[in-house]
Amino acid sequence: MRTLNQVAIVQDTNVKYPFGSTVKNETETNEGTPIVAEYMGDIIQNIYKLLSLAAITPTGTEDSNVTQYQIVEALKKLPNLLNDVEQVLTLTGTVWSVPLNLSILPNKYFILAKVGENYISDITYTFKGTGVTEYPFVSSGFVSGDELLIIFNTSGVVAYNLTNLSSSSQEVSTTLGLPLAFNSSNKMWYQDNGKLFSDIPNIYDLQSIIRTNVSDTTVIVNDMFIMDESVVCFCFIPTGNNYFFRRFLLSDLTVSNAVTLVGTSFATASNFNPYVFADRRYLLVTNNMNTNSDNFNVTRLNYSVVASTLTLVSSVNLNNTFEKTTNTVIFGANIYTMVSGVLNRFNLTTGVKTVIATLPSVAGQIFGFDASIYFSSGEVAKKWTF
């Protein structure tokens, strides 16, 4: 498109106008801006094209309150290439980007995007468009292929996982047995006797692999959790009361790696049979890392899949009636247990206990799967909402 200052004709020049000029009135002493095709043609053709793209046929009548406003009608009908089409979110290093000029977008603008890489929660990411400015970027989590709602804010960009919202079904099949107590993925996994398996079916003898990796045939895998695209295994060697963690990447379940404890360690003088519980980011260990017989004394550890570490965050004394059981899930700021049909909630900050419900003659398992809590008493699990 041509602007007035690109055409060699009379015009009113001033920096206050977009592109520096506008039309100039003719007076008795000054020549005005002529109507010429060099600039008027562009304007008219753009208007005609606008109607054409909106499939609107000019009526041949003057637009007014009595007839119509066909250009306004066309603007209402036309899609745009920013948020009316699916964008592609790509990752380079730790920078997520979309091919959009963010500087022209209003604050709180949103787009839909398909993502091509996995989000790792303990990596600090930024977000950018076609310009050089980068903004903080956070999400509750996603994997390659997920559909995201991305809200742009100059103080930080947030991505919401739409695939998780649609895929977190009210009911899921648990036909092969006991699901993992916590599984952040949307694929059902089970465990039994140190083996990890799925409905596909896939089966991996993680206990045997760990025994080989640490050169000890007495290792017992007490529990497994899927966190941040990895399988964290809680392990025990009876001789010496030795508790430790190993982890596998879901992309390679043939080799385990050590998980280093930072700021704490397991005691080995006695064996108080500590239990471990998980959510997307943290592990909770009972009995104060095997230092005492108080089951209600819980230690919180922050898991980093990148560094392969578990770092001490805090300790809390839950209500002393807390019973350690595998029938336990963490959800938000609370830990839930179900023992003999009684569903209890313990606040992880204050330790306060609340009895949620007493369900007579109910036997089953609660577990965390795909960002929700489910209850199973057979081959089908039902989503629970607290």
Backbone phi, psi, residue 75, to 5°: -60, -35
Omega before residue 79 within 30° of 0, cis: no
Say if strands 95-97 and 252-258 run parallel, antiparallel, or are unpaired: unpaired
Handedness of CA 102, 108, 110, 114 (dihedral sign): positive
Is there a contact between 160 and 149 (Cβ–Cβ < 8 Å)?
A: yes
Domain boundaries, the chain: 4-77, 87-164, 169-384
44 token code pair: 């008219």
Q: Which residues pair with 248 in a beta bridge?
A: 231
Residue range 4-31: mean pLDDT, rounded: 90
pLDDT digits (tens, 9 = 90+) for 295-343: 999 999 999 988 999 999 999 999 999 999 999 999 878 999 998 889 9
pLDDT digits (tens, 9 = 90+) for 198-227: 988 889 999 999 999 999 999 999 999 999
255 token code pair: 């080799």
The answer, yes or no, to whether residue 248 has pLDDT greater than 80, is yes
Pinpoint the alpha helices (H) of the chain: 37-53, 70-77, 162-167, 206-214, 287-290
Say what the pTM is. 0.68
The answer regarding whether domain 169-384 maps to CATH 2.120.10.80 reads: yes
* pLDDT at residue 1 in the model: 81
Q: Which amino acid does the sequence have at 351?
A: G
Report the distance separating Cα 53 and Cα 45, nearest Å: 12
